Structure 1
């Protein structure tokens, strides 16, 4: 796992049928990291290294597994005690997954002593490279590269959807691009070992097998919420497909599909689909229009999206 990206505000209330997210996209309060001291040992095994980054709910350190002699990422959740119920859910969800398009989970535990005692942590695969959010800062990407990245993430989503899980926060900052993924001249290699885009951060994921009320959660990143997520409705796999559609659209155009305050964005996406750039090939316009349909049942499955993108 690479450096965590500062997350946009994720708390919300419901008013007039819309999810009103606290704060704005440009004036959100900065994340206040709570890093661990470097050099400490977690679980008598993992040496804490430098802080890589901080997200809305956790801090990520580089770490060293002293038993196996390998570099890892240490995701240290903020808060203690009962507030970690959601963190424990993420641990259980991620521990179930083994897929080349997902960040691998090696271990989990709880800080036992010191000022951070009681904080839970995950030991994750350390994925070198950049996030899609970082790569998009200069501008849009080439169409074939977007197709490859999108297919990799759609495949990972199809896997977690089949396992009964909705990610709920598909966005460029949660898409990791290891070395080799951005090499458009590279020859295709073994599908199991070739570099591929990776999907990270299941911090607000939910199981579709939970009680429906448990999937009515208003957190998410404003720029990538699905219409049903903006309305505070129970979520299902089509919500992830919608978010991936917005990510692909941004990757091709260099701009977000919806802008303005979080409330304006939420209102807009419940009223109309995102605009499609006229320069996009017809097959791309057709696929992205389907992925970002207002009605969830009209969207293709993640597996169908992967097949389309592999063909493109």
Structure 2
């Protein structure tokens, strides 16, 4: 992993910063904004013998209300039992600093790269070889979640991190992620890139009984959360007020299931490969917004060290310009009818993904038909 050095003075501690966190990690800099203020880059202090990573991301989660406290406890409980190479790893979590604390802090594995939403905003649709890698990693991650009885409920490009794009806050190569050439394929074969599914603030764990129902494509009424443009049709169409006896943490509920995650994966892959934000007709959007891309470098221009300079136009693709296996996978995942929609675990064996045995595995079997291994922490089911 790249060492994210910084010469700037460390940021001041956030409100309710736990004393144990101060003993364990040196605050380096702010990585971004979270639900409860800042996400900080931390460095393990010499006396911290239990930490396994030198650099970490420390995320604050608001617990101002009872529901927020329950949501934070659920996120920590879920992540504490997940072990998969394409799922963000929770390394530690701190109890509230006091009875009047406003937040809890979670120590996450540090990812040396941006989220895919950043990449799409920067230059649009990613290179076709990189899209396939992301598709394999994302489907692998979500299939594992479903094998643990967990539905993510907020899958979108902003919640998928891509390792290998940045080093010391700088882009390693300004072309590689968007260019369909041998250099990108070579970097992928060397294992430079890895997609990591993150942000489990809306995740929900199912009991074994609930999981068996969802295996039969039966949805559960859960708190209505997530991002509308990436939500499945059955979820959007069935939002309603919760009944008095329902234990949802929001006033509205809707129908959720593993097929809802499958649809969100399809929408996410569609945006990554076309560059078209969800909610837009792809053909209309591309025809209205596509501009000529820079000409590829010739051997002479490479020899002279010259290449087109930004700002680059946003890369867009029509669905008809995609490899057939890619477009078939997306349309299968985005099937309007959840009873015939391709499940994520089935998608592992799709031609575009390559089969379960070609993927990295977590701590449980997650192939099609494998038995659910529910989480043990009762807080995961709140």
TM-score, normalization: structure 2?
0.61
> 1:218 Cα shift?
1.4
Does residue 339 of structure 2 align to residue 297 of structure 1? yes
Question: Taking structure 1 as reference, are residues 248 and 71 closer, same or farther at Cα in structure 2, changes over 3 Å only?
Answer: same
Could you tell which deviates more after superposition, 212-221 or 158-167?
A: 212-221
Q: What CA deviation, in whole Å up to 9, does each residue of 1:199-225 have, x standing for no partner?
A: 001100112328799752211112211
CA contact (8 A) 2:266 2:334 kept: yes
For 1:221, the equivalent position in structure 2 comes to 227
* CA gap 1:206/1:187 in 2 versus in 1, 3 angstroms: closer
**Match for residue 169 of structure 1 among 129, 147, 154:** 154
- Offset of residue 187 of structure 1: 5.8
Match of 2:261 among 240, 246, 249: 240
Aligned to 1:25: none
Pairing 1:82-93 to 2, within 5 Å after superposition: 82=66, 83-93=68-78
Secondary structure of 1:136's counterpart equals helix
Which residue number in structure 1 is paired with residue 164 of structure 2? 179
Aligned to 1:30: none
Q: Which residue of 2 aligns with 1:24?
A: none
RMSD of the alignment, in Å? 3.1
* Alignment partner of 1:310 is 2:294: no
> For structure 1, which runs of at least 5 residues remain unmatched after alignment?
1-33, 261-275
The 1-side partners of 2:221 and 2:30 are apart by 32
Structure with bigger gyration radius: 2
Q: How does 1:189-268 map to 2 (within 5 A)?
A: 195-209=193-207, 215-231=221-237, 232=239, 233-259=254-280
Equivalent residues of 2:26, 2:42 under 8 A apart: yes
1:74 to 58, 71, 79: 58
- Answer yes or no: is the 8 Å Cα contact 2:154–2:227 preserved in 1: yes
Match of 1:64 among 43, 57, 69: 43
Q: What CA distance in whole angstroms lies between the structure 1 residues aligned with 2:28 and 2:73?
A: 23
User: Offset of 1:294 from its aligned partner?
Assistant: 1.1
- TM-score, L = length of structure 1: 0.73
Please state whether the residue corresponding to 2:60 is helix, strand or coil.
strand
Q: Equivalent residue for 1:126?
A: 110
In the alignment, which residue of structure 1 is the partner of 2:132? 147
Secondary structure at 1:285's aligned position in 2? helix
SS of the counterpart of 1:157? helix
* Residue aligning to 1:286: 328
* Aligned residue pair count: 260
Measure how far apart 1:227 and its partner are: 1.1
Whether the aligned pair in 2 keeps the contact of 1:38 and 1:48 (CA below 8 Å) is no
Return the alpha-carbon distance in structure 2 between the equivalents of residues 136 and 255 of structure 1.
9
Give the gaps of 5 or more residues in structure 2: 1-11, 166-175, 178-183, 211-217, 240-253, 282-317, 356-382
**Is the contact between residue 163 and residue 195 of structure 2 (CA under 8 Å) also seen in structure 1?**
yes
Task: Confirm whether residue 277 of structure 1 aligns to residue 319 of structure 2.
Answer: yes
Deviations 1:153-190 (A, max 9, x none): 1001000100000001111111000016954322635x
SS of structure 1 residue aligned to 2:107: strand
Q: Which residue of 1 aligns with 2:375?
A: none
Q: Check conservation: 2:35, 2:62, Cα contact below 8 A.
A: no
Question: What is the CA–CA distance in structure 1 between the aligned matches of 2:268 and 2:219, rounded to whole Å?
Answer: 27
Q: Describe the SS at the equivalent of 2:87.
A: coil
Question: C-alpha displacement at 1:58, in angstroms?
Answer: 5.8
The superposition leaves residues 250-308 of structure 1 with CA deviations (integer Å, 9 ceiling, x where unpaired) of: 11111123149xxxxxxxxxxxxxxx722233333322111001111212221222332
